[in-house]
Structure 1
Amino acid sequence: MTILALGLNHNSAPVSVRERLVFSGERVGDALRALIEIPEVSEAAILSTCNRTEIYCGAEISSYDPLIDWLAEEQHLRQTDLRPYLYAHSDRASIRHMFRVACGLDSMILGEPQILGQMKTAYQHATEAGTLGTVLGKLFQHTFSAAKKVRTDTAIGSSAVSVAFAAVRLARRIFENLGEQTAILIGAGETIELTARHLHEHGIGEIIVANRTYERAHTLAAQFEGFAISLHELPEHLAKADIIVTSTASQLPILGKGSVESAIKIRKHKPIFMVDLAVPRDIEPEVAQLQDVYLYTVDDLRETIEENLRSRQEAAKQAEEIIDTEVEHFLAWIRAQSVTSTLKDLRNHAGQIREQALEAALRTLKNGRPPEDALQFLAHALTNKLTHLPCIQIKQAGVDERHELISAARELFQLKDSTEET
């Protein structure tokens, strides 16, 4: 069986193509069951995120064409619109690709941790759909183990490399317990959504999302158990904020020195941590002059991010070495599976010989022979029966001058040369 990986990602395809290939969670189960209806495919899983869609298969197949045909039909696309953006891997390359994806080495943000959770979701969907077999199931488990080893043994995920993550990391340094803090997030774009996700994951006490369009603010806030306000309501809530992160497309500042100064007085000079991720800036620079305000801009975070990215790149080199080792371990497991049936047959054969010899030995006891005689008979019968066929085959190998078989027998049974002096 061949292990195959077929897909596209943020490097190979624009978002206009990627979004047409996304499998929603509700569709994955049916898609998987349809996928293994392809005669050559025996095992399958689908990983689908905003940045990648990939199919993993165990198949008896020499071409990717059946998978591409299926994918195009399933997603209602013409193959000519799909093929230029696809990449494909088989066996060793597929295994290595899955390991790299799970470790975040193939992600838009190097080392990002979310992809491992998405890989686990893909595994869960395939398990529930009944489309995982022995090989692909074992490969997923080994993938998770490799990712854990990379996270444990390298610094791949220890440094912030996005402005949102860097902002939250800085907030965690300033506040001992985020669970006691309230955050106001101004805007509803990707950066604010990512900030909300990081804050939520680190147990922020409360999230308030402010946006010019209330509906967008409400949609975002609902994802993280927060609540929404419109921008004109912001002055009424500003004093509640321990943390303010803003990222809008406004051409004029949204927060001025006067409104922040009023909030500080209401808070009785309890500090506010503010991060302005917008360009042009959402917060007037003069706000930084206020006591009890800690204001950072995107430029303040950029140097930290670049330094951390260099650190991740160094860690990525170590991660690649770990992955190479783990790929070899999994390939060794696959090679071991090829002799499983032979080992089983050998054990069954030996078991039959044992039962026959034991039955004959028990008969000698029933006939009144001493136990010592029965044990001697058992040992003699087992030795003769277990060595009979190998001896015949080795003799024939000598006649046929099959010296490699004789050498293999000596290695297999760990035989010492009887002609050597002891």
Structure 2
Amino acid sequence: MNIQMIGIDHSRASVEERELFSFTKTKQKELMEAVVRQQSVDGCVLLSTCNRMELYVSLDAKAEPDLYRIICHCKQISGEEEKRLRELFTVRTEEDAVRHLFLLTAGLKSKIIGEDQILTQVGDALEFARSGEFADTVLKTLFRMAVTAGKKIKTQVAIPKGNTSTIDAALTQLARQGYQFAGENCLVIGNGEMGRLTARAFQERGANVTVTVRQYHSGEVRIPEGCARIHYGERYHKIPECRYVVSATASPNVTLERVELEKWKLEHPITFVDLAVPRDIDTSIRELSWAEVYDIDDFQGGIGLSERQQEQLQAANLLAEEELAAFVSWYECRDMVPQIQKFGALAAQDVSWRMGRTFQQMKLDASQCRQLADAVEQTSQKVFQKMLFGLRDHADTDVMRECLAALEKVWKEE
């Protein structure tokens, strides 16, 4: 199995280091174009989130491209910095790469065990790679099976968890530190998925929430019901009224700058929470006497697992191993697909030929007879191929090859 993953994530890299390898959609396309230009690469999929950047590639036999160097070239990182950052990356190959993706999609590699966002993010990564024709058949199948495995694990193994998103973890941690939310004003910058999650999280805790939008027309943006809205350009004027300000955009640009905020002489504290990578909020804002600033790495830490969670985690790992075995079986048998399709076509032709006299006895005209024959042939082909693909997915690889060899012999003898 020649599948490789190279990535950087929260387990080894700080937010400052991770944001060096954060990719906008434009940069994602640029990187994947550079990767698939390598002669040894058949396809690639890039997963880029706040906590991780992972590049999955399908390779020719014995190929060993320097994927890290390609990534650094795309991000214009070179020299001593390139050498220093290399140690933050992890490379996984073959079954280890597949296992990691399955566990990741189930939320078992996240800071918040069992979190739900990663499942959507993995699916979105596949769709983006497919739309640009970067993913080959192997990676398309791998990511589809990973999403299926993630859903299956989440359904069958109910891992107990208190928080299912970064903002929930953040607010829970702040509450433990004595922060109050009920009745407080909160400004959420960004109305994408994370922005909407943030707005709902504050609403559930009784806060008065305002969300920034870039258009006033309600048909063009979606914000949670009950939230007020202001234009993004008015955000600085709203901040003095707020106790909390959260920036949660997918933009690579800074949303809040110190030079604008230091104009205010405030007597009450404001807590800024930056959930973006790269970070949205000017880090020097924390030097203002009335401001305190948190970023994504200030939360989710120190979350231990109970004995019950450990047991459920073991069950999830066993289920992931079953899904891994299913993918390995598909991978090892993928060369059988042309044979199975050929036998399906031959079987359909045989059924159609044997039904020929029956069609004639039905006293149909030539056109009707042909339409019926085509329908029978297509149906027969689908049924026969479904049986063979089902056998391939459940039978031992060697047994399946023997079956196909026997079928080949039978048709040759006929």
Aligned-partner SS, 1:65: coil
Q: Give the 3 Å change call, closer, same or farther, for CA 61–338 of structure 1 in structure 2.
A: closer
Residue 162 of structure 2 corresponds to which residue in structure 1?
A: 159
Q: Are the equivalent residues in 2 in contact too, given 1:95–1:139 (CA < 8 A)?
A: yes
Aligned counterparts of 2:248 and 2:42: Cα–Cα separation in 1: 37
1:338-357 residue CA offsets vs partner (Å, 9 max, x unmatched): 21112233344556777888
Label 1:360 to 1:201 Cα distance change in 2 as closer, same or farther (>3 A).
Answer: same
Tell me, yes or no, if the aligned pair for 2:157 and 2:312 is still in contact at 8 Å: yes
- Residues 113 and 157, structure 1, Cα contact 8 Å, conserved in 2: no
Gap runs ≥5 in structure 1: 171-177, 189-193, 236-247, 255-276, 279-301, 363-403, 414-422
Deviation at 1:55, TM superposition (A): 0.5
Q: Which residue of 2 aligns with 1:113?
A: 116
Query: Normalization by structure 2: what TM-score?
Result: 0.56
On the 8 A contact 2:186/2:208 being kept in 1, the answer is no
Name the Cα RMSD after superposition.
5.1
| 1:204-215 paired onto structure 2 within 5 Å | 204=204, 206-207=208-209
Matched residue, 2:320: 323
Aligned to 1:342: 339
The one-letter code matched in structure 2 to 1:148 is K
Q: Secondary structure at the match of 1:338?
A: helix
2:57 pairs with 1:57: yes
Count of equivalent residues = 297
Whether the 8 Å contact between 1:183 and 1:206 is mirrored in structure 2 is yes
Q: Equivalent residue for 1:29?
A: 29
Say which is worse superposed, 309-318 or 109-118, in terms of deviation: 309-318
- Aligned mates of 1:129, 1:316 — CA distance in 2: 36
Q: For residues 355-378 of structure 1, give each alpha carbon's deviation from its aligned partner in whole angstroms, at most 9, with x where no partner exists.
A: 88899999xxxxxxxxxxxxxxxx
Query: Which letter maps to 1:65?
Result: P
Distance of 2:357 and 2:113 partners within structure 1: 68
Structure 1's 199 and 85: CA in aligned 2 closer, same or farther, altered over 3 A? same
For 1:145 and 1:351, the matched residues in 2 are separated by: 32
1:310 Cα deviation from its structure 2 partner: 5.1
Which residue of the other structure, out of 92, 97, 101, is the alignment partner of 1:98? Answer: 101
Please say if 1:46 is aligned against 2:49.
no
Quote how far apart the aligned CAs of 1:208 are.
5.7
Partner of 1:125: 128
Paired with 2:8 and 2:170, the residues of 1 have a C-alpha distance of: 31
Question: 2:72 matched to which residue of 1?
Answer: 72
| SS of match in other structure, 1:71 | helix
Aligned-pair distance for 1:12? 3.0
1:44-65 superposed Cα distances (whole Å, 9 cap, x missing partner): 1111123211101122152443
- Greater RCO, 1 or 2 (C-alpha within 8 Å, sep 6+): 2
**Structure 1 residue identity aligned to 2:342:** D
Mean Cα deviation higher: 39-48 or 57-66: 57-66
- SS in structure 1 of the partner of residue 66 of structure 2: helix
* Contact in 2 for aligned 1:155/1:311 (Cα 8 Å): no
Q: What is the correspondence of 1:274-285 to structure 2 with a 5 Å cutoff?
A: none
Q: Percent identity at matched positions? A: 22
> Judging changes above 3 Å, is the alpha-carbon distance between structure 1 residues 61 and 322 closer, same or farther for their aligned structure 2 residues?
same
Q: Distance in 2 between matches of 1:358 and 1:16?
A: 70
Measured in 2, the distance between the counterparts of 1:325 and 1:142 equals 12
Find out whether 1:314 has 2:311 as its counterpart. yes
Whether contact under 8 Å (2:40, 2:59) holds in the other structure is yes
Question: Where in structure 2 are the equivalents of 1:263-412 lying within 5 Å?
Answer: 311-348=308-345
Does the 8 A contact of 1:43 with 1:57 survive in 2? Answer: yes
The whole-number CA distance in structure 2 between the counterparts of 1:249 and 1:27 is 30
- Aligned position for 2:368: none
Q: What SS does the corresponding residue of 1:45 show, helix, strand or coil? A: strand
Q: Distance in 2 between matches of 1:54 and 1:316?
A: 23
Q: SS where residue 339 of structure 1 aligns?
A: helix
Cross-structure match for 1:259: none
Residues 28 and 46 in structure 1, CA contact (< 8 A), matched pair in contact too:
yes
Is the 8 Å Cα contact of residues 112 and 303 (structure 2) preserved in structure 1?
no
CA distance in 1, matches of 2:40, 2:248: 41
The answer to whether the Cα contact below 8 Å between 2:102 and 2:320 also exists between their aligned partners in 1 is yes
Distance, in Å, in 1 between the alignment partners of 2:208 and 2:59 is: 49
Q: Which amino acid aligns with 2:99?
A: R
CA change 1:77–1:345 in 2 (3 A) is same
